[in-house]
Amino acid sequence: MKNFPRSFGSMVGRVALVTGASSGIGAAIMQLFVEKGGRVHAVARRGSEIERIMGEDSLARGSTVVHEMDVSDSDAMTELGTFLAGHDPIDTLVLAAGTNIPNRRLSQVTIEDWNNVIATNLSGAFYPLTATIDQLRDRQGDVVFVSSVSARWPDHAGPAYGASKSGLLGLAAGTGLDEHMNGVRVTSILPGIVNTAILDKRPIPPSQELREWCVQPEDVAQATLTAVTMPPRTNLAEITVVATRLQTLGKTQEANPTLPEDLRAS
């Protein structure tokens, strides 16, 4: 096993793989890791968006390496894992790729919808995890699963999304049990309502005022940085991040009659 520098709040000397890096939470984590001195292998279907976000300087310096591919493609993830093992082994894996569907009530979800959500949100975490776990064992690294509060209590994200995020919690817990004696730390982050493009897939997209009340992607990125830079003796196994004015543990404000209807989380 190889040691790598681990200093609180710093990614200097570290190499991360971040999925879902073209927008939202994944993009914010990528940006923060690079800002804090790390190198990020960034995965998304829209590689051009990663390039736009990070800019030519980061790409030229090698601080950001773009991999345009789909996390639900098991062969592509296996090939990426093999490439990294031979050229630039990682010590940090962040599984942030996610999607949802507009027609999300149980009566509306089609088999194709279900398969797409599970493929991206759950299988799309399993494939890169198994493709890189040997590297993470070798470096006693960190794995972060970006799940959701929808995994813990029912909300308007819908049963397909909730099931996929609950599955992530099970995958994270099982991985932690199997790998903690190998020095691999596993963290699940459960954000509440976050101001990302996934909100546009709601049946009724939220207003700008509600978006301003939401957790912002950079807030989840800060929680992720904290988790992966804690001293090796400590594991932040689970972190729940909710919007102060909209949610509390196990509950959203949509049932609050004093909140204007267009501000209710739905």
- Domains of the chain: residue spans and CATH: 15-263 (3.40.50.720)
Buried b (16+ CB within 10 A) or exposed e, 146-182: bbbbbbbeebbbbbbbbbbbbbbbebbeebbeebeee
Range with the poorest average pLDDT among 105-109, 153-157, 238-242: 153-157
pLDDT at 106 over 80: yes
Residues 69-97 have a mean pLDDT of: 98
Q: Is 144 helix (H, G, I), strand (E, B) or coil?
A: strand
Dihedral sign of CA atoms 188, 196, 65, 37 in order: negative
Model confidence at 24, pLDDT cuts 50, 70, 90, reads: very high
Q: Are 95 and 143 in contact (CB under 8 A)?
A: yes
pLDDT at 100 over 60: yes
The predicted pLDDT at position 2 comes to: 62
CA distance 194 to 124: 20
pTM, to two decimals = 0.91
Q: Which residues does residue 260 pair with via DSSP β-bridges, in sequence order?
A: none
Select the more confidently predicted residue: 193 or 199.
Answer: 193
